[in-house]
Amino acid sequence: MELMIWIRVLVVLIPAAVGMAAAVMLGRVLPRKLWSRLLQGVVAIGISLGLLLGGLNVYVNFGVGPQEDMVRRVATEKKIVALTFDDGPSPTYTPQILDILAEYQVPAAFFAVGAHAERHPDIVRRIAEEGHELGNHTLTHVNVPTTGTLQLAAELALTNFHIYEAAGVYPKYLRPPRGMYDRRLRQWAELMDMQIVLWSLSSQDWLETMTAPRITTRILSRVRPGDILLFHDSGAIVRSEGASRLRTVQALPDIIEGLWARGYEIVSLAELLAYPGVEPDPDVPPVY
């Protein structure tokens, strides 16, 4: 815990120190007035960026204030984890993931984007029929804190509607895009009888730099009992779909086999959450 915090502090401090050193060098060659203006600007931008990134990191991974209503991982010594997939369904990748899960007889939870569920009801139905769980990931993958209250209500309700229409099940879980929540989302979740489920270990499979072996290594080297693992069966950096998830598909068999080899059991979210001692404030690495 302490070590992770210090690593994060250093990640912010080292670039800041390098920037300062570069600024001092620049100050020697520029006219004095221009230099002082520049320095003020650079320092202001640096401090704002550092605070913004640091704050966002703490907010997404640790949360601010009491978080009993939101789950990131379950505090247990038992070697159990749950697999979750965000942003789908995708007509290309979700069926491939379902095939692998069926082959290994492993459950997962799919946090669907409502608009994708509306477009691919057959895949939503297949997810439910094959015993997997469905969650709500908003209708159009919005940033919750910057979405108006009325639109937020529609984003959540219509996603539930499309999932229910396709599969005949009411999604029990809610995961806000990018892990960005606010008080209104938490109130809506309570009113709609849904559990907000975030994650404790991201595969970072959305990063272009992540190859299938790197995704596998990342998960297997960091996994802890009670983890909720995050993958993506659709999505893209800016848009809500379109990126290749081939690497996720390729990594999945090795991840399942690797978890088993390390003595882990892959259980459904419902089974994981049934364990007592939900831990609201875990020590998890940054998601970006």
Does 177 contact Zn ion by CB under 5 A?
yes
Instruction: Dump the DSSP string for 63-93.
Output: -SS--TTEESEE--SS-EEEEEEES---TTT
90: which residues sit within 8 A by CB, 6+ positions away? Answer: 116, 120, 123, 233, 234, 241, 245
What minimum distance in Å lies between the beta carbon of 162 and Zn ion?
A: 16
Distance of CA 123 to the CA centre of its chain: 22
Collapse the DSSP code of 46 into the 3-class scheme (helix H, G, I; strand E, B; otherwise coil) and give the result.
helix
Among residues 132, 162, 232, 233, the one annotated as catalytic is 232
30: which residues sit within 8 A by CB, 6+ positions away? Answer: 38
User: Which pair of structure tokens corresponds to residue 239?
Assistant: 């848009």
What minimum distance in Å lies between the beta carbon of 46 and Zn ion?
A: 29
Binding residues with Zn ion: total (CB under 5 A): 3
Among residues 86, 87, 205, 233, the one annotated as catalytic is 86
Does 282 contact Zn ion by CB under 5 A?
no
Q: What sign has the CA pseudo-torsion 102, 103, 109, 112? A: negative
Smaller CB distance to Zn ion: residue 107 or 114?
114
Residue ranges in 132-151 that form contacts with Zn ion under rule CB under 5 A: none
Smaller CB distance to Zn ion: residue 87 or 133?
87
Among 71, 73, 87, 115, binds Zn ion (CB under 5 A): 87
Smaller CB distance to Zn ion: residue 142 or 266?
142
Judged by CB under 5 A, the stretch of 51-59, 69-77, 82-90, 184-192 that binds Zn ion is 82-90
Per-residue binding letters, 37-76, with Zn ion (x by CB under 5 A): ----------------------------------------
What minimum distance in Å lies between the beta carbon of 24 and Zn ion?
A: 42
Residue 170 and residue 172: Cα distance in Å, rounded?
Answer: 6
Does 86 contact Zn ion by CB under 5 A?
yes
Smaller CB distance to Zn ion: residue 86 or 227?
86
Q: Helices 246-261 and 94-104, interaxial angle, to 10°?
A: 20
Residue ranges in 239-268 that form contacts with Zn ion under rule CB under 5 A: none
What minimum distance in Å lies between the beta carbon of 17 and Zn ion?
A: 34
Respond yes or no: is residue 162 known to be catalytic.
Answer: no
The DSSP symbol for 227 reads B
How buried is 134 (Cβ within 10 angstroms: 0-12 exposed, 13-18 middle, 19+ buried)? buried
What minimum distance in Å lies between the beta carbon of 206 and Zn ion?
A: 8
What minimum distance in Å lies between the beta carbon of 90 and Zn ion?
A: 12
User: Does 286 sit behind a cis peptide bond, omega within 30 degrees of 0 on the bond before it?
Assistant: no
Question: What backbone torsions phi and psi does residue 195 show, to the nearest 5 degrees?
Answer: -100, 125
Judged by CB under 5 A, the stretch of 6-14, 24-32, 34-42, 78-86 that binds Zn ion is 78-86
Respond yes or no: is residue 141 known to be catalytic.
Answer: no
Residue closest to Zn ion when measured from CB atoms: 86
Q: Which of 271, 248, 288, 278 is nearest to 106 (CA)?
A: 271
Does 89 contact Zn ion by CB under 5 A?
no
The DSSP symbol for 174 reads E
Residues belonging to the active site: 86, 232
Where along the sequence are the contacts to Zn ion (CB under 5 A)? Answer: 86-87, 177
